[in-house]
Amino acid sequence: MITLQNVVKKYGPKRALDNVTLSIPRGKVIGLVGENGSGKSTLLKAIAGLSSIHAGTAFFEGEPITRKIASRLAYMSDADLFFPYFTVRQLMDFYDSQFEDFDLIKAKELMSFLNVTLDAKMRNLSKGNRGRVKIAVTLAREADIYLLDEPFSGLDPMVREDIAKGLIRFTDPENQTVILSTHEIREVEPLLDDIIVMQGGRIIAHEAVDEIRDFYGIDATSWMVSLFKQPQVQ
């Protein structure tokens, strides 16, 4: 579904992505993990066609990735860019006007499931409820791919649990792919099929969660910690 080959993305002299090669099939939930500045957000933007690459190739179902992929991909930034004067209901109507695959009925179901009041103004919502709204309008699109950049960042455990349940209930695991960057690996591990680990703009590991448990005999969090303790080849 998604294929990257030797992708390089630079900001000045620094390589934010350093010869990244990656293949992601349809129907996977993938955790993208790594330290701050490891390249996770840049990788998601490259997959979304929002950040041009300087070298290598990036394809979505055999076609070069460009901004046109937005019609089949739902990207949720870690930044909060909503119009503050919108109510939640107005925000849903706005998304409905912008994306052909936006399902207004599904959006209302998501808001109800996540306990969001439709007539509340965005500027009056708590950070937790704004996080619920972000995930709801993203998952309300019937996209082939969902890219979620730090969907749990700064949210309390109850909100993170609700969002995790929403990911299970409102996506199609057979036909849709979810890639989420997160530091909350322990909480989302039960949802994940694969884990991609980044360090210094490179992918240093890409493993199936079941294989981590079977082969190493530890959970994914412990495996990831041990991985970072190992010296990496430059």
Domain membership of residue 182 (yes or no) is yes
**What is the token pair recorded at 14?**
């620094």
In this prediction, residue 233 has a pLDDT band, given cuts at 50, 70 and 90, of low
Range of the domain at 218: 2-229
Amino acid 192: pLDDT: 93
Domain membership of residue 51 (yes or no) is yes
Instruction: Domain count for the chain, please give it.
Output: 1
Cβ-Cβ contacts under 8 Å for 190 (sequence gap 6 or more) = none
Whole-angstrom Cα distance, residue 207 to residue 228? 15
Looking at every residue in the chain, the average pLDDT score rounds to 91
Whole-angstrom Cα distance, residue 204 to residue 200? 9
Amino acid 71: pLDDT: 86
Amino acid 179: pLDDT: 96
Q: In what order do the strands lie in the sheet containing 73-76?
A: 73-76, 145-149, 177-181, 29-34, 194-199, 202-208
Domain membership of residue 7 (yes or no) is yes
Amino acid 4: pLDDT: 97
Is pLDDT at 231 greater than 70 in this prediction?
no
CATH of the domain at 211: 3.40.50.300
Domain membership of residue 234 (yes or no) is no
pLDDT, tens digit (0-9, with 9 covering 90-100), for 170-227: 999 889 999 999 887 877 888 899 999 999 999 999 999 999 989 888 888 888 888 8
User: Which of 103-112, 195-204, 224-233 is predicted with the least confidence, judged by mean pLDDT?
Assistant: 224-233
Whole-angstrom Cα distance, residue 224 to residue 34? 9
Domain membership of residue 135 (yes or no) is yes
Amino acid 232: pLDDT: 60
CB atoms within 10 A of CB 107: 26
pLDDT, tens digit (0-9, with 9 covering 90-100), for 132-185: 999 999 999 999 999 999 998 878 888 888 888 888 899 998 899 999 998 878
User: Which of 20-29, 112-121, 222-231 is predicted with the least confidence, judged by mean pLDDT?
Assistant: 222-231
pTM of the model: 0.92
